[in-house]
Chain A
Amino acid sequence: MAGTWGRFNVVALVLGFAFLYLPIVLLIIFSFNESRLVTVWAGFSTRWYGEMLNNRGLLDAAWVTARVAFLSATVATVLGTMAAVALTRYVRFRGRLLFSGMVFAPLVMPEVITGLSLLLLFVAIGFDRGFATVTLAHITFSMCFVAVVVQSRLISFDESLEEAAMDLGATPAKAFFQVTLPVIMPAVIAGWMLAFTLSLDDLVIASFTSGPGATTLPMKIYSQVRLGVTPEINAVCTILIGIVAIGVIITSLVNKRREVLRRREEATP
């Protein structure tokens, strides 16, 4: 019995992972293809990486994306953390349920709708679309993700720590920055990473809210692909995958270490 189930599990695992990762692996492999034809292997080469570095348009887009992602992730982390604190701490303020619903609704909102409504807003108030609007849009949708991540950590945060800090003479603000924030920092960092990645690979919302001169990398890639896939694009994507993978790995390592520490703390109360 155990054997058959074991085999079934292995097969399921292999199929699942193949389904998930085969396309990505193919993409990475073909980014090192010598040939211009994407589907024909003609030997190993790093030629397309060099070519990519000479592609002005692509580099500009990458630079825009990096700036948007960094800025929006940072602002979203501040706002998302504040929302999470408000939601967990002040349990009984009026309209809390509505507020929390409103914070978390964008998580399930179709991106097309978020994008479209933001576009309408920017048009309505006469805001010229460009770098600022994409950044604002990304802040809006990624701050809820940050709020969720931080809130889940805050729920298990022992409030008497903050009380002890105030008892020892710290103002509420100091108590928050010197005690609460350092303790929940791993979750805040994880939230930032998440926001950064979300911004990095967003196409839909960026297409709605971006304007001339602020083309993001996903937009650029998408428009180039419509003219035909080049190995150059594969190279760019491989680098993107690398960045995201490193981010994910760091986050999970930090969280794992924190989790171990926390469990040890709780094991000996």
Chain B
Amino acid sequence: MKSLGSTRRTFAPWADPDAKPFIRFENVSKRFGDFAAVDNLSLDIYEREFFALLGASGCGKTTLLRMLGGFERPTSGRILLDGQNMLGIPPHRRPVNMMFQSYALFPHMTVEGNIAFGLKQEGMPKAEIAERVQRMLKLVKLESFAKRKPHQLSGGQRQRVALARSLAKRPKVLLLDEPLGALDKKLREETQFELVDLQYELGLTFMVVTHDQEEAMTMADRIAVMDKGQVEQVAPPQEIYEAPASRFVADFVGSINMFEGTLIREAGGPQLKDRSGLAFDIADSGDASPGETAWLAVRPEKVRISRERPEVQNAIDGEVWDIAYFGDMTVYNVRLDDGRVVKASTINSLRRLEDALTWHDRAWISFSADAGVVLTR
């Protein structure tokens, strides 16, 4: 999904044991009273990485960013930036800029004034400031709004001013808290690509908070999925999607079919035997050992649906319960005889309208042995 093909694809410092992390959270906790907003969290982020924090509302994403920005003091643990302990360093002396979730534009200054603010603090010469401001305005396509005050802008325009303001100083690390939340779908997609290009061109490290999984998938080199102040999994988008580490991650990112059962080892290979006696062939049993309770997670697009029984082991029949038509694809909800519902999605590659499955038809759903991933938590 990256706009910048092959050069980016080789970027994987996290796989290199010699690579030094640029930002390091070491067992960081943040408590508000008894409540742990961030709970013993460790995380490494590398230079020039586009890192996304994904998680439900209230899981501690903003709190994590605010600790890196210097606005919240960790209750315990350390935060290192480029090897330097950030403890006690005030926000204005951190080489980190933040785009606030509420934008926090200065209401008494014009768009220009807002963008120039950080540069003035540095004591940059006037001519240079003017030039930089112009470049930033161009970048966010707000050239004609330079003299307006924030209250004269639309929500999306304000968001772009906030982005320009936080980018103007070329910080080593840019923290973006839901940067695209207020944009409409089209502008949002455009801006996503722009952000990625920009980050790549300027060679910055981005840490982006979002609760939109598609956005995280599109933009990030790696994604951290957070839940209740802890990191559930950190991995590149594809791995998060295809090899989720837990049921939470599998469920949070995309949609999924989950079969709970016990792992057994047969002559033909491992199987997962679920409570209604069905046994699924599995190619890779992951961390699960025989006899253990495990979950088989299969994405809907890896589930086939057909009228006839297919020639694979993992096939169950049921009744078409619901059909959601999206144009490019169709999602079928098939109700098994024990009441469970399995999702199967198909790409509508043929423009064929007759002979389609319809409500209350009997149908077989099936998937190959390597379609699913076995989870133990």
Contact = CB atoms under 8 A, between A and B. Distances in A.
Contacts of B98: 164, 167
B122 to A, nearest CB: 6
Interface stretch (B101-109, B221-229, B249-257, B271-279): B101-109
Interface residues of B, number: 27
B108 A182 contact: yes
A174 B106 CA distance: 14
A264 interface: yes
Contact of B100 (A163, A170, A175): A163
B91 interface: yes
Contacts of B71: 163, 167
A265 B150 contact: yes
B7 interface: no
Q: Is the interface of A mostly helix, strand, loop or mixed?
A: helix
B107 A265 contact: yes
Among B70, B100, B122, max chain A CB count under 10 A is at: B100
B121 A169 contact: yes
A167 B69 contact: yes
B79 to A, nearest CB: 16
Contacts of B96: 167
B268 interface: no
Nearest to B69: A167
B90 interface: yes
17 contacts: A160-B102, A161-B104, A161-B106, A163-B91, A163-B104, A164-B98, A165-B106, A167-B69, A167-B70, A167-B92, A168-B117, A168-B118, A174-B121, A175-B92, A183-B106, A265-B150, A268-B151
Nearest to A174: B121
B110 to A, nearest CB: 13
Interface residues of A, number: 24
Mostly helix, strand, loop or mixed at chain B's interface? Answer: mixed
Nearest to A169: B121
A158 B105 CA distance: 10
B6 interface: no
A164 to B, nearest CB: 4
A269 B118 contact: no
Nearest to A163: B71
Contacts of A265: 107, 150-151
B97 A167 contact: yes
A261 interface: yes
B102 A166 contact: no
B88 to A, nearest CB: 14
A46 interface: no
Given A160-B102, A169-B118, A183 B108 contact: yes
B155 interface: yes
A208 B107 CA distance: 45
A168 B165 contact: yes
Interface string B64-103: 0000011100000000000000000011100011101010
Interface centre among B70, B92, B150 (most CB of A within 10 A): B92
Contacts of A163: 69, 71, 91, 100, 104
Given A167-B97, A175-B92, 9 more contacts: A166-B91, A167-B91, A167-B92, A170-B121, A171-B92, A182-B108, A261-B107, A265-B107, A268-B154
Contacts of B150: 265
A179 interface: yes
Interface in A139-178: 158, 160-161, 163-172, 174-175, 178
A168 B117 CA distance: 7
Given A169-B92, A169-B169, A160 B151 contact: no
Contacts of B117: 165, 168, 170, 178
A269 B100 contact: no
